[in-house]
A = this chain, B = another copy of it.
Amino acid sequence: MMPQPTNDCLLRALRHEHVEVTPIWMMRQAGRYLPEYRKVREQVGGFMDLCRTPDLACEVTLQPLRRFPLDAAILFSDILTVPDAMGLGLHFVEGEGPRFERPLQSAKDIEALGVPDPEQDLRYVMDTVRLIRHELAGRVPLIGFSGSPWTLATYMLEGQSSRDFRVTKTWIYNHPEAVHALLNVLTEAVSLYLLAQIRAGAQALMLFDTWGGILTPKDYRAFSLAPMERIVRSLKAHDPSVPVILFTKGGGAWLEAMAAVGCDALSLDWTTDLSTARARVCGKVALQGNLDPSVLYASPAVIRTQAAEVLAAYGAGSGHVFNLGHGIHPDVPPEHVATLVEAVHDLSRIYHL
């Protein structure tokens, strides 16, 4: 039996239950903006070495929680661990983001892909989850995650991030059946991976769909949302109590469709107003977000005002998890993050009387 969290504000908000304050955590809350993170990072060779060393990955996961009264921890890892375990060779080029050494080049490459066994092939992630959960000792819940099948597929086909996704787009327009085959393998692999994270101790899960927003509405449903729906259904069939959060960056137009796939919450970037979003999803799901991460460059007074606007946009009642609309920028001052966390807890009380 693992201990239940003392501060379960996040889980209650995701279930629309009463909370005293709006919970807050931040995408990439463990990261380069913290000097103590940079120190650990310098001790290891590359970013993936940090992810692959459970002791250190656990340490950096806990760092932001020592500084700020955050309401959740999130596993320190990468969205692309699954294709790495499939043999594509993930590595990071400083300042340029992720790269695969062996991107997919043909339908044969897709057919040859196997589904990784999480406890074998991604053991370092499972060990990290177990370790963090133990070290947290129930103080706050632990969030696990993966990239969405569509987002994984774009990196696997392009080999890296892209401006126009020429390779991926040519595949989906000329060979949609091959892309569906790839998404099918990834859907199975991500489902097993997230189930294993639950078994290892993750208490909530998030699917990061970084590149769903580059698609037409019809292609978004077919290539990005449908695989995510299959994953959510599979997770819920196994354990309906673990909340699942979907995040499609640039997906503000598709909230109704996203809210209908059986997930518990949608994470929103800052281009959608929370009051509009709340009306559109009709209470079906909780909402997470959505402060522009660049607000953390502004002065503390402005940070408070902008946080107040996000809280007011959601309004009274439970079902809101405060977050940034995307990952925290690596060069924001940690004191600005402290200001934000304090402001959210302070200013949100009136919405939960």
Contacts and interface: CB of A to CB of B under 8 A. Distances in A.
Interface of A: 164-166, 169-170, 173-174, 213-218, 220, 250, 252-253, 270-273, 276, 292-295, 297-299, 302, 306, 309, 329, 331
A290 to B, nearest CB: 8
A308 to B, nearest CB: 13
Given A174-B302, A252-B253, 17 more contacts: A164-B294, A169-B292, A169-B294, A169-B295, A169-B298, A170-B297, A170-B298, A173-B298, A174-B298, A215-B271, A217-B271, A217-B272, A217-B276, A218-B309, A250-B250, A250-B271, A253-B272
A294 to B, nearest CB: 4
A174 B299 CA distance: 7
Contacts of A252: 253
A208 to B, nearest CB: 18
- Copies per complex of this chain: 2
Given A250-B271, A271-B250, A165 B294 contact: yes
A306 B276 CA distance: 32
Nearest to A303: B173
B294 A173 contact: yes
Contact of A253 (B170, B253, B292, B309): B253
A306 B215 CA distance: 13
A271 B302 contact: no
Contact of A169 (B273, B276, B297): B297
Contacts of A220: 271
A97 to B, nearest CB: 10
B294 A217 contact: no
A195 to B, nearest CB: 32
B271 A216 contact: yes
B213 A173 contact: no
A292 B329 contact: no
A169 B173 CA distance: 37
Contacts of A250: 250, 271
Contacts of A270: 216
B166 A216 contact: no
20 contacts: A165-B294, A166-B297, A170-B298, A173-B294, A173-B298, A173-B299, A173-B306, A174-B298, A174-B299, A215-B271, A216-B270, A216-B273, A216-B292, A217-B271, A217-B272, A220-B271, A252-B253, A253-B253, A253-B271, A253-B272
